[in-house]
Amino acid sequence: MKYVDEYRNGKLVNVLRDELNRITTQPIRVMEVCGTHTMSIFRHGIRDMLPEQVQLISGPGCPVCVTPSGMIDRFVELAERSDIIITTFGDMIRVPGDNGSLAQARSRGAQVKIVYSPMDALAFAEKESDKLVVFLSVGFETTTPTIAATILEAKRRGIENFCVFPANKVMPPPLAVLMQDPELQLDGLLCPGHVSIITGSDMFNFLVVEYNLACVVAGFEPTDILQAIIRIVKQVKQGCPTVENCYGRVVTSKGNGRAKQLVEEVFKFVDTEWRGLGEIPKSGLGIRDDYKKFDVTKRLGISIPSSQEPKGCRCGEILKGICEPTDCPLFGKRCGPNYPVGPCMVSSEGTCAAWYRYGALEQ
Ligand code: SF4
């Protein structure tokens, strides 16, 4: 298949749905790790097509959602300085911390700009040479290579008033933490397609070896997702879990070597806090000493305070997959997309936003 509508072909979707229903003979719990999968599953009504025995659980795969509130407070504090311009991807701007969101800071006069690439932030720095331009580097393995490339470019062009707030995270350590949680009891993992383009599908081998988990890399169209769930069900039934790649049109076993090289050059693994999961060793990426002048936390001596969830918000448990948005008493009452309390309702990849947008309130 070549065009996106072929991957959404209703007849093919029905064939896959029927096959899934035919082969499922036992309860199977599958986590979709990636927020883009969560959104796609809701957008295409995939939960309604599944046999009752297949349960989909959303995981911690939205980078905005897992950024702890203490870090958001630091973003807001920086934004309120008159000598700083904050640049960020759009989702982060409305996430509330203890002292409000970046959007609220902007309404008070702070300079907060939405960019589509860290290179746009570098272009701002060139134009606004009397300000320090800080890019909020929030994301998983998918976004880190472009940030590394931007730091290298800033160094090459001698741009001194550009730096990054390093908040990038990597997927394997939190997955290992989740697999050890006795409350979860997963059989399979719908592995994130975007991340796998960079890392390669081999990154998930340890989950098969250490946790006996069926792992299937999937794309984001309905036929991709249904096909991957079928593969997981077959692996579980046969009792021989492995890593399979159902997104072969863009994912390889080894990933993108050049992108991995860029990340390795600029970043190193550091311990970092995840909302809902706490501090996880070597699950974040910090900037190496050779590039420390591009690290705003080193340049301005910033430390990250410990975080508190907004009162009543259950994002932490939702990110661990142990409760659903409708278990939160604030869902659809005090918390909605126009008046979010927690990050899972703000982000376009957030689980609460997906449930709200695609009708969980009506069920
Ligand atoms: S509904 Fe709102 S308050 Fe409740 S968990 Fe989701 S984001 Fe947090």
Task: Please indicate whether residue 113 or residue 1 has the higher confidence score (pLDDT).
Answer: 113
pLDDT at residue 201 is higher than 80: yes
Asked if pLDDT for residue 363 goes beyond 60, the answer is no
The answer to whether residue 269 is domain-embedded is: yes
Confidence of residue 361 (pLDDT cuts 50, 70, 90): low
Give the Cα separation of 227 and 324 in Å (integer).
25
Pocket test for ligand 1, best of 38, 69, 318, 323 (most atoms within 8 A of CB): 318
Residue 302: band (very low, low, confident or very high) from pLDDT cuts 50, 70, 90: very high
Amino acid found at 296: V
Looking at ligand 1, which atom is closest to the CA of residue 335? 2
Distance CA 217, CA 197 (A): 10
Q: Rounded mean pLDDT of 223-246?
A: 97
The β-bridge relationship of strands 278-287 and 162-169 is antiparallel
In a domain, 43, yes or no: no
The number of the ligand 1 atom at minimal distance from the alpha carbon of 318 is: 5
Give the chain's mean pLDDT. Answer: 94
pLDDT for residue 216: 98
Mutational pocket test of ligand 1: of 66, 334, 335, the residue with most ligand atoms within 8 Å of the beta carbon: 335
pLDDT of res. 91: 87
Calculate how far, in angstroms, residue 72's C-alpha sits from the geometric centre of ligand 1: 17
141 touches 170 (CB < 8 A): yes
* Ligand 1 site, CB within 6 A: 313-315, 318, 325, 328, 330-331, 335, 341-342, 344-345, 352
In a domain, 146, yes or no: yes
Query: Residue 78: inside a domain, yes or no?
Result: yes
Query: Is pLDDT above 80 for 315?
Result: yes
Report how far ligand 1's centroid is from the alpha carbon of 233 (Å). 31
Residue 347 reports pLDDT greater than 80: yes
What pLDDT was estimated at residue 244? Answer: 98
| 155 found inside a domain | yes
Our mutation pick for probing the ligand 1 site, out of 327, 330, 347, counting the most ligand atoms within 8 A of Cβ, is: 330
Quick check: is 270 in a domain? yes
Ligand 1 pocket: which of 69, 320, 328, 349 to mutate (most atoms within 8 A of CB) = 328
What are 8-43's pLDDT values in tens digits? 999 999 999 999 999 999 999 999 999 999 999 999
Please check whether residue 290 is in contact with residue 234, taking contact to mean a CB–CB distance below 8 angstroms: no
The pLDDT tens digits for 115-153 are 999 999 999 999 999 999 999 999 999 999 999 999 999
Least confident of 167-171, 289-293, 339-343: 339-343
Per the structure, the complete domain to which residue 135 belongs is given by 66-171+256-299
Q: How do residues 270-283 score in pLDDT, each as one tens digit? A: 999 998 889 999 99
Nearest alpha carbon, ligand 1 atom 7: 342
Within a domain: 328: no
- Residue 333 alpha carbon to ligand 1 centre in Å: 10
Q: Please answer whether residues 49 and 17 qualify as being in contact, where contact means their C-beta atoms are separated by less than 8 angstroms.
A: yes
Give how many domains the chain has, as a whole number: 1
Ligand 1 atom nearest the C-alpha of 345 is 7
Look at residue 263 and tell me whether its pLDDT is greater than 60. Answer: yes
205 CA → ligand 1 middle, Å: 33
Query: In the chain, what percentage of residues exceed pLDDT 90?
Result: 83
Q: Whose CA is nearest to atom 3 of ligand 1?
A: 313
144 domain residue, yes or no: yes
pLDDT of the residue at 99: 84
Q: What is the CATH number of the domain that holds 280?
A: 3.40.50.11740
